[in-house]
Amino acid sequence: MPLLFDPLKLGALTLENRIVVAPMCQYSATDGAATDWHLIHLGTLGLSGAGLVIIEATGVEPEARISPADLGLWDDATEAALGGVLARVRAQLPAAGEVKFGIQLGHAGRKASTARPWEGAAQVPADAGGWVPFAPSALPFRNADVAPIALDADGLARVRTAFADAARRAARIGFDAVEIHGAHGYLLHQFLSPLSNARTDAYGGSLENRMRFPLEVYEAVRAALPAHIPVIMRVSATDWVEGGWDLEQTIQFAQALKARGLDAIHVSSGGLSPLQQIAVAPGYQVPLAEAVKAATGLTTIAVGLITDPAQAEDILATGKADAIGIARGILYDPRWPWHAAAALGASMVAAPQYLRCQPSGLRQLFR
Ligand SMILES: Cc1cc2nc3c(=O)[nH]c(=O)nc-3n(C[C@H](O)[C@H](O)[C@H](O)COP(=O)(O)O)c2cc1C
């Protein structure tokens, strides 16, 4: 049996296989509420055969959204919309080989209030449906951006509570796992990186101080969830900028999270600074995941241009990671897990409506 199709435990949760659909913003919500787009999108991913689908960065308060069209989970209306979509998708999926659904809870911090990517992604001013973003310090992402408002003590408490409340709502509507967005230059990463955190209080300066707020958010989320729901932290393991957040600090952060009971870490990179220099190539972030896993022993998800089944299997077989994340590759080919099973000699559970697609000449793919 290929390792890619070996079940994996994330805390008390067992995944059918080690293919994780990485979170992908859809910019298709209305006032934070999920729409019919989410129904077809999550339906498609739910039928993909992946072990875990982590749904897009979901704002824990309205100002946490990257764009005004982002998904949210901050009140009864957003909870009802997303809960309804999840229940309708789940009701159609085969019970055997059940896909698990996780949700990424996030706060965009200074990168909030932008237009959708296909509309240019420029900052949306407050008088055009946007808002002034919050951040650790009043340092904009791009020099031309409006400076964010530095969170004061009340603001920190509000955001912490918003993460915990959203986690409670996620558990209530049936998510199997919660991922905290600590990557890609969004709020928690902004606290971690010395390039975006210039605070002089207990939340800035030393590494211990810069980790304080992200660790508080983790603890608040963990405490808000029942024990059977695992928590994953997504990190950018480096800013790819001299003097920024780096792998060594990431390992210390991961160790602090492990000591607090983190179930898994999802290792990405970059997004904090427009000055980043990234040599993008197949599996370019795998060495970062490998280093975090080796140093901490945490259950680790590697991600980033993992597009080939043999490549994915090799990452697992050589112990570099415990699961692989896939984003663009599964939008392009939503049946990637089936094709991986065919290539590696594994078998899959599929919806009965689809069983007749077994390709002739290929050994039995469906069980
Ligand atoms: C359309 C799109 C939306 C994304 N949205 C998110 C997101 O909501 N949260 C996140 O952590 N990463 C997001 N990402 C990054 C992916 O999760 C992933 O880390 C990245 O695309 C690299 O993996 P890949 O090479 O398999 O695409 C997004 C990527 C794409 C292509």
Task: Tell me the C-alpha distance between 274 and 139, whole Å.
Answer: 13
Q: Is residue 47 part of a domain?
A: yes
Q: What is the phi/psi pair of residue 106, to 5°?
A: -145, 170
Ligand 1 pocket, mutate which of 24, 186, 324 (most atoms under 8 A from CB):
24
Q: Which of 314, 290, 214 is nearest to 257 (CA)?
A: 214
Q: Is residue 201 part of a domain?
A: yes
User: What residues does ligand 1 touch, defined as CB less than 6 Å away?
Assistant: 22-25, 56-57, 104, 181, 183-184, 234, 268, 303-305, 326-329
Task: Tell me the C-alpha distance between 356 and 345, whole Å.
Answer: 19
Q: Is residue 366 part of a domain?
A: no
Q: Is residue 141 part of a domain?
A: yes
Residue 1: the pLDDT is 87
Residue 99: the pLDDT is 95
Task: Tell me the C-alpha distance between 174 and 160, whole Å.
Answer: 22
Residues marked as catalytic: 186
> Which residues in the chain show pLDDT less than 50?
none
Q: Is residue 207 part of a domain?
A: yes
Q: Is residue 364 part of a domain?
A: no
Q: What's the CATH number where 195 sits? A: 3.20.20.70
Domain of residue 254: give its range: 3-357
Residue 9: the pLDDT is 98
Give the pLDDT confidence of 83-97 residue by residue, as tens digits.
Answer: 999 999 999 998 877
Ligand 1 pocket, mutate which of 19, 21, 25 (most atoms under 8 A from CB):
25
Q: Is residue 363 part of a domain?
A: no
Q: Is residue 19 part of a domain?
A: yes
pTM comes to 0.98
Residue 363: the pLDDT is 87
How many domains is the chain built from? Answer: 1
Residue 95: the pLDDT is 80
